[in-house]
Amino acid sequence: MKIAVGSDHGGLEYKNAIAKHLKELGHDVIDVGTYSLDSCHYPLYGAEVGKKVASKECHFGVVVCTSGEGIAIAANKIKGIRCGIAYNDDVAKLMRQHNDANVISFGQKFMALDDVLRRVDIFLNTEFEGGRHLTRVEMINELEK
């Protein structure tokens, strides 16, 4: 799979660890930045990951900032993106099963790295269930028009 990753300075450490983890699993990783601890603007990186996924250049995206909130909001501004914050293992699974999420978000300051890496794996290995959930995803897509 090709996976886009992005973060601001507040999520750089985890973004780099996630990228390394994904590469070790054999995934093709597109790192859109940031690449330093210099203060920067999370909307740029959340949107860039969203664009890579929405264009189908990448299958999925992973975004990280201090809380996970701001960068998730930015990613969700891109048409076709459904990004959620994986604050526990069940949510990481349900956002794929029920919401067909294509980007996952994390807050570096509030989550342990081991939990984040496990949730990335859960997210990537969970299929969308479709069925009644498809109707709801289609309703979300209609809101973008």
**Active-site pick, 40, 65, 83, 133:** 65
- Confidence bin at 145 (pLDDT 50/70/90): confident
Task: Give the structural domain span for 60.
Answer: 2-143
Note the pLDDT tens digit of each residue in 94-111.
Answer: 999 999 999 999 999 999
83 as an active site residue: the answer is no
Catalytic residue selected from 40, 59, 98, 133: 98
Total residues belonging to the chain: 145
Q: What is the mean pLDDT of the chain?
A: 97
Instruction: Please confirm, yes or no, whether 9 is among the known catalytic residues.
Output: no
- How far is Cα 47 from Cα 76, in angstroms, rounded to an integer? 8
Residue 66 has pLDDT above 90, yes or no: yes
- Number of domains within the chain: 1
Q: Comparing 52-56, 66-70, 113-117, 141-145, which segment has the lowest mean pLDDT?
A: 141-145
Q: What percent of the chain has pLDDT over 70?
A: 100
Average pLDDT over residues 41-56: 98
Report pTM. Answer: 0.97
CA angle 94, 115, 72 (to 5 degrees): 60
Whether the bond between 34 and the residue before it is cis, its omega within 30 degrees of 0, is yes
Provide the β-strand partners of residue 28: 2
Mean pLDDT of 17-40: 98
CA dihedral 83, 66, 38, 43 (to 10 degrees): 30
Q: At 13, which CATH number?
A: 3.40.1400.10
